[in-house]
Amino acid sequence: MLEYYHYILIAVGAYLLFSIFFCIFPTLIHGKKKQAFDVQHISHRGGSGEEIENTIQAFRGALRKAAPIGPDRAMLELDVQLTKDKTVVVAHDTDLNRICDLEPNQATLISDYNFNELPPMRKTLEVEFTDAFVFKSNDSTERRIPSLKSIFSEFVGVPINIDIKTNNDDLIKETECLIRNFKREPITVWGNADDAVTTKLYVANPDIPLFFSYKRAITTFILFYLGLLSFTPIKETHFEANLPYKIDRSSIGSFLNSIMWRLIAFVFLNRLYTFHLKQRGIRVYYWVLNSEAEFDRAVRYGADGIMTDFPQKLTDWMIAKKVL
């Protein structure tokens, strides 16, 4: 009986050693993914804390503000929807209620409008990933919802991260067509939180870099803790995740809250997991971070890039800290 348990311990020990070894040296099993770009500065919706979100003016401003950190280090992040006339437009929401001033009987869904019929955006918009911060524009601010084609036409060679916001086959088809026609496959990342969408994206064009869905991210964490991730193929090229750090201010001092935070941080901010992904050539981006304290945390947990609503703030921090 003792010999039986002895063999089990040897087998478990050997399994753990092999798992850890290949976790550190995964390229002995898998080829390292090759990336056509290496960015650290990512402007969320073009920097919605400093310009009207997802507008050409915002994207121009974001690149101008990121310029001091050096060429080829900046990326634009945006979201896409589809209009009635099959134009891919840059907008986060499926409807216009949040971003436009509509008449009582006016249609609300973007899909109910042809591209040229879309109303202008509001002059004032709340910034989602802040504590009630509102960006206020002036009369000269660009407020037109742009087409993805116009973005590709102007920002040639600039890496762009695209969130396909709806599970819509026509949206996927039209977006893929634009990426292919502009020959942007190497410098465009696309994806969605929904695994059903990312599966369709990969089938539509496996040559376009893909970020993890929530399901795939959780699956890889489970495989990691089981010691199996080292032996598992990964089709995605970018791990983009929220940085779980915020403590509920109403329960500061709560022992349970403190334990919950430490557990979340331990599970989802595992440096060995991040190291393993990076060893396999997978970029790690954290979003949406809008303060210097958040930037600091992202670097501590192995971020390759930081996504922010405040591109000027991120640039200033990167220059001051000489990081990334």
Q: pLDDT tens, 142-152?
A: 899 999 999 99
- Return d(Cα 8, Cα 273) in angstroms, integer: 26
CATH assignment of the domain containing 82: 3.20.20.190
- Nearest residue to 117 (alpha-carbon basis) of 96, 142, 92, 139: 96
Is 7 among the domain residues? no
> Residues 183, 154: contact at Cβ < 8 Å?
no
Is 143 among the domain residues? yes
Is 14 among the domain residues? no
Is 19 among the domain residues? no
Q: What is the pLDDT of residue 251?
A: 46
> Residues 217, 226: contact at Cβ < 8 Å?
no
- Nearest residue to 232 (alpha-carbon basis) of 282, 161, 193: 282
- Nearest residue to 282 (alpha-carbon basis) of 204, 322, 203, 224: 224
| pLDDT 10s digits, 264-279 | 777 778 899 999 999 9
Q: What is the pLDDT of residue 216?
A: 97
Tokens matching residue 76: 């634009």
The position carrying tokens 């009987």 is 105
Residue 220: HSE in the Cβ half-sphere, 13 Å Cα cutoff: 24
Residue type, 289: L
- Count the domains in the chain: 1
Is 3 among the domain residues? no
Q: What is the pLDDT along the chain (324 residues), one digit of tens a residue?
A: 556 777 788 887 888 888 889 999 999 999 999 999 999 999 999 999 999 999 999 999 999 999 999 889 999 999 999 999 999 999 999 999 999 998 888 889 999 999 999 999 999 999 998 888 999 988 777 899 999 999 999 999 999 999 999 999 999 999 999 999 999 999 999 999 999 999 999 999 999 999 999 999 999 999 999 999 999 999 999 999 988 655 444 444 566 666 766 677 777 788 999 999 999 999 999 999 999 999 999 999 899 999 999 999 999 999 998 876
| pLDDT 10s digits, 52-77 | 999 999 999 999 999 999 889 999 99
- Nearest residue to 242 (alpha-carbon basis) of 307, 178, 180, 196: 307
Assessment of whether the complete model's pTM goes beyond 0.85:
yes
- Return d(Cα 194, Cα 215) in angstroms, integer: 7
Q: Alpha-carbon dihedral of residues 107, 110, 114, 118, nearest 10 degrees?
A: 80
> Residues 301, 269: contact at Cβ < 8 Å?
yes
Q: What is the pLDDT of residue 15?
A: 83
Q: What is the pLDDT of residue 245?
A: 58
Helix or strand run (H / E) with residue 307? strand 305-308
- Return d(Cα 110, Cα 185) in angstroms, integer: 26
| pLDDT 10s digits, 9-62 | 888 788 888 888 999 999 999 999 999 999 999 999 999 999 999 999 999 999
Q: Which residues contact 260 (CB under 8 A, 6 or more apart)?
A: none
Identify the domain containing residue 165 by its residue range.
27-321
22 to each of 12, 28, 108, 227, 283, how far by Cα in Å? 15, 7, 52, 9, 19
3-state SS class at 82: strand
Residue 92: HSE in the Cβ half-sphere, 13 Å Cα cutoff: 18
The distance of Cα 261 from the centroid of its chain, to the nearest Å, equals: 22
- Return d(Cα 298, Cα 319) in angstroms, integer: 16
Is 118 among the domain residues? yes
Q: What is the pLDDT of residue 258?
A: 66
The distance of Cα 291 from the centroid of its chain, to the nearest Å, equals: 17
Average pLDDT, the chain: 91
Helix or strand run (H / E) with residue 74? strand 74-82
Is 98 among the domain residues? yes
Specify the DSSP class assigned to residue 80: E
Is 18 among the domain residues? no
